[in-house]
Amino acid sequence: MPLKLQVLDTSHGRCLSVGGEVDMDSSPELRREMLKQLKGHSGLVIDLSGVGYIDSSGIAVLIEGHNEAHRGGGKLTLLRPSEAVTSVIDLAHLREFFSIQADEAS
Amino acid sequence: MSPDPTDEPQSSPRYFAVTVPAEARYLRTIRAFFSPLLEELLGSAAGHLVLALDEACSNVVKYRAGTLDEKLIHVRVTLAAGRVVFRIGDFCHYSDIPRIRPRNLDEVRPGGLGTHFIEQIMDQVRFEPEPGPHGRMALVLEKGMPGEGAGDAAEAPGA
Smallest Cα distance from B84 to chain A, Å: 20
* A23 to B24: CB separation less than 8 angstroms, yes or no: yes
Which residues, given as ranges, of chain A have pLDDT below 70?
105-106
pLDDT in tens, chain B (159 residues): 555 555 545 568 899 999 999 999 999 999 999 999 999 888 888 999 999 999 999 999 988 766 767 789 999 999 988 899 999 998 888 788 877 766 666 666 666 789 999 999 999 999 999 887 788 899 999 999 876 544 443 333 333
Neighbours of B66 (CB within 10 A): 9
Hey, are the CB atoms on A92 and B105 less than 8 Å from each other?
A: yes
Cα–Cα distance, B138 to B74 (Å, whole number): 10
Q: Which amino acid is at B139?
A: L
Q: Select the residue of A23, A87, A91 nearest B27 (Cβ to Cβ).
A: A23
pLDDT of residue B158: 37
d(CA B99, CA B95): 8
Q: Which residues of A touch B25 (CB under 8 A)?
A: 25
Contacts of B108 in chain A (CB under 8 A): 63, 94, 97
**Residue in A closest to B102 by C-alpha:** A92
Longest dimension (CA), chain A: 34
CB contact under 8 A, B114 and A84: no
Contact A56 B117 (CB under 8 A): yes
What angle, rounded to 10 degrees, do the helices at A83-91 and B113-121 form?
100
Give the pLDDT score at B143: 95
At A5, which amino acid appears? Answer: L
Write down the ipTM of this complex: 0.92
pLDDT computed for residue B52 by the predictor: 97
The pLDDT score that the predictor gives to residue B150 is 43
Amino acid at B144: G
Interatomic CA distance for residues B37 and B15, integer angstroms: 11
Whether the model pTM is above 0.90: no
What's B7's DSSP letter? -
Interface of B with A in 35-94 (CB under 8 A): 47-48, 50-51, 54-55, 58, 61-62
Minimal CA–CA distance to B128: which of B87, B158, B75? B87
Q: What is the separation of C-alpha A88 from the centre of its chain, rounded to a whole number of angstroms?
A: 13
| pLDDT in the model for residue B157 | 37
Taking an 8 Å cut-off on Cβ atoms, the answer to whether A56 and B113 are in contact is yes
How close are the terminal C-alpha atoms of chain B, in Å? 28
Chain A CB contacts of B114 under 8 Å are 55-57
pLDDT at B86: 97
Quick one: closest CA in A to B113, which residue?
Answer: A56
